[in-house]
Amino acid sequence: MLSETMAKALNDQINAELYSSYLYFSMAAYCRDVGLSGCARWMEAQALEELSHAVKFYHFVTERGGRVVMTAIEAPPTSWASPLAVFEDVAKHENKVTGLIHHLVDLALAERDHATHNFLQWFVAEQVEEEATAGEIVQQMKLMGEAQGGLFMLDKELGQRVFTLPAGTTLVAPAAK
Ligand code: FEO
């Protein structure tokens, strides 16, 4: 059974993951608007992945006897100065999420809640990957500078991304036994 403090913190993370999804959909819409359909596809896949993170937390809270409470999701920004600015914000946002996950780990340790601590390890690893990916795209964009051809190629490459549900994630709760 989750403590009240842990349940509240995990509920806050559900909201944060949903905000991430909302933010990436907003970035996708911006990318579509400026004609970068590959970047938009990448963002849409990212948005769906964040949704699956929220669902992962949702099922965990429920499974541990906690109560999920949905709260208002903050409105994300809707426009950016450049494609580089969008991906810089992705990197910044993922750094922030890493901090949130680490804070949850600290709380689980303080509460000696080993089940939550174990559950969170998946997210610790996931954040390493998310930060690396975002950082790599920012670096590529910076290297390209003003070269439009480079952006065209990168857009094509990013457009190859397809969303696949992370291993071990189910969107629907397992059937009752
Ligand atoms: Fe749910 Fe991008 O971390």
Can you say how many angstroms the Cα of residue 34 is from the centroid of all Cα atoms in its chain?
A: 23
In this prediction, residue 177 carries a pLDDT of 60
DSSP assignment of 31-81: HHHTT-HHHHHHHHHHHHHHHHHHHHHHHHHHHTT------PPPPPP---S
Closest CA to 119 of 128, 129, 109, 110: 109
Q: How far is the CA of 126 from the centre of ligand 1 (A)?
A: 8
Of all protein residues, whose CA lies closest to atom 1 belonging to ligand 1? 50
Q: Say how many C-beta atoms besides its own lie within 10 A of residue 30's C-beta.
A: 20
| pTM higher than the cut 0.75 | yes
Name every protein residue with a CB atom under 6 angstroms from any ligand 1 atom.
17, 20, 50, 53, 94, 97, 130
Task: Enumerate the domain spans of the chain.
Answer: 4-158
The answer to whether 21 and 135 have CB atoms below 8 angstroms apart is: no
Q: What is 4-158's CATH number, 3.30.70.1140, 3.40.50.720, 1.10.150.120, 1.20.1260.10?
A: 1.20.1260.10
In this prediction, residue 176 carries a pLDDT of 66
**Model confidence pLDDT, tens digit, residues 36-94:** 999 999 999 999 999 999 999 999 999 999 999 999 999 999 999 999 999 999 999 99
